[in-house]
Amino acid sequence: MTARGAQTGEDAGKAAGTRDTEDLDVEEALALANGSAGHFPGGGDLPGGGHLPGPGFGPGRLPGGGPAPAADGAASPGYATGSGPLPYGTPYASQADPRTTSWPRAREIAGRAARGIARRSPVSVALDAALGLVLAEPVAALTDLPSFDTSAMDGWAVAGPGPWDVREGGSLAGDAQPEPLTDGTAARIATGARIPQDTTAVLRTEHGRTDAKGRLHSVRELSHGQDIRPRGQECRSGEHLLPAGTLVTPAVLGLAAAAGYDTLTAVPRPRVDVFVLGDELLIEGLPRDGRIRDALGPMLPSWLRALGAEVAAVRRIGDDAKALQKALSRSVADLIVTTGGTAAGPVDHVRPTLHSLGADLLVDGVDVRPGHPMLLARTKEDQHLVGLPGNPLAAVSGLITLAEPLLRVLAARPAPEPYTLPLRDGVHGHPHDTRLVPSVLRGDHAVPLRYNGPAMLRGVAAADALAVVPAGGLRAGQEAELLDLPWAAAGIGVCFT
């Protein structure tokens, strides 16, 4: 177990293990009540024996063709080979249908997809724009650090044994070469100032006193070289400081500047286009006339930047298949992120549009709640698309599952170290699928939050991490894998620029 320390946030409220089923989405509640996996809304069996067909690719397969290749060139995992292509309109199913992709495998596929793209050329970036990038070249010192002998304290530069005669003037930080000292003399000096030639030591202000004749005495034993930072104490010119692959943090920027750099050579940020779909979305004011506020348009750009991306465009397209096709075909981004339209309803155009563009579907549905209708497609040789469900927390699940691994590899960021914590409260599990549950970190425990339905953001807005809950759930005290949210993780994740 690795604890990440106490964090603040909304109180956990009602224990997850005692939640009413109304806190689950409808499908989960039905599945828990009936002891079955349920089926994807818009495709599959309905309670009472009805059937609702819906358009969509067979998972891992393009309509009317062979299996869509996974990132490593293999057929999408879980596809029942030898059964022939799935016809257009085949219902999308949950984990009960082996054609969908497990949550860990989906993340692996997303990372492998990015590794299949040719490495992008490094860029030279000014220091003030390099935060959050990854070094493409090592950093070696361009100068000695410090570049000259400097004082580590405010006080007096002294020469020889005391007492000392204090001469007029002194040395301040930024002054040119001061006059040399002679034995028995001293001069005032400031922290960071250049040491006069022939200085024996620096006597701190609090360790010196003057007598009636104005002579300086030390009230403590003074050793040779005391409180002097010698030239090259931290590094010598040409010395290796940081390897390629280092994440540029605020401390890295400071070290690079001190070592003489104005720019850094880094891996460029992946460019992302965000297309917000849905005629029901409002961009201002209160919900009205059956329409709701768009939560994803304001949320996704900052989240993607925190994952290391450059958001090139955010467009609201609505439920317009032709406009969507035109936008996808014209995008030159490394990654396209769409919101909504991944299900099988009458205006869910993402899958049919991908089919019309000849895209390769790498992941078509993931065994995770919320967010199971998410998808990953290769739209061009050097471009991918992540289709997020329209429900806000389901979209977050899609970001963490598919967009984060892909962007991390494209940006050459290091993978976060996995860690677990025991849960303070039990969490209901889906009978077959993984669940991602917003949680806060309290000392050496994780506390699941109550508001975790697919359309809810109240829980994740207060969360530090998402708890990975396997099928069947977890009891209080059991260890759960935790996925830090970008701004709650230690390090560069707090950067949104």
User: Could you read off the pLDDT of 37-68 as tens digits, one per residue?
Assistant: 333 333 333 233 333 333 333 333 333 333 34
Query: What is residue 423's DSSP assignment?
Result: B
Query: What is residue 48's DSSP assignment?
Result: T
Cis-peptide into 438, omega within 30 deg: no
pLDDT at 347: 77
Report residue 456 as tokens.
């809810």
CA 481 – CA 461 distance, rounded (Å) = 19
Residue 32 phi, psi dihedral angles, 5° rounding: -70, -40
How many residues belong to the chain?
497
Cβ proximity of 46 and 34 under 8 Å: no
pTM beyond 0.95, yes or no: no
Amino acid at 365: G
Cβ proximity of 330 and 40 under 8 Å: no
Cβ proximity of 166 and 217 under 8 Å: no
CA 185 – CA 182 distance, rounded (Å) = 6
pLDDT at 329: 94
pLDDT at 284: 67
CA 70 – CA 101 distance, rounded (Å) = 11
Answer left, alpha or beta for residue 340, where phi above 0 means left and psi between -120 and 50 means alpha: left
Report residue 247 as tokens.
């994440």
Amino acid at 309: A
Cβ proximity of 297 and 314 under 8 Å: yes
H-assigned helices in 411-462 = 458-461
pLDDT at 489: 56
Beta bridge partners of residue 288, listed in sequence order: 291
Q: Which residues contact 156 (CB under 8 A, 6 or more apart)?
A: 164, 166, 186, 187, 188, 189, 202, 203, 205, 208, 216
Q: For residue 488, with 0-12 CB atoms within 10 Å meaning exposed, 13-18 middle and 19 or more buried, which class applies? A: middle
Counting as low any pLDDT under 70, the low residues of the chain are 1-98, 279-282, 284, 292, 489-497
Cβ proximity of 437 and 1 under 8 Å: no
CA atoms within 13 A on the CB side of 347: 12
CA 368 – CA 212 distance, rounded (Å) = 82
pLDDT at 411: 93
pLDDT at 69: 38
CA 225 – CA 185 distance, rounded (Å) = 16
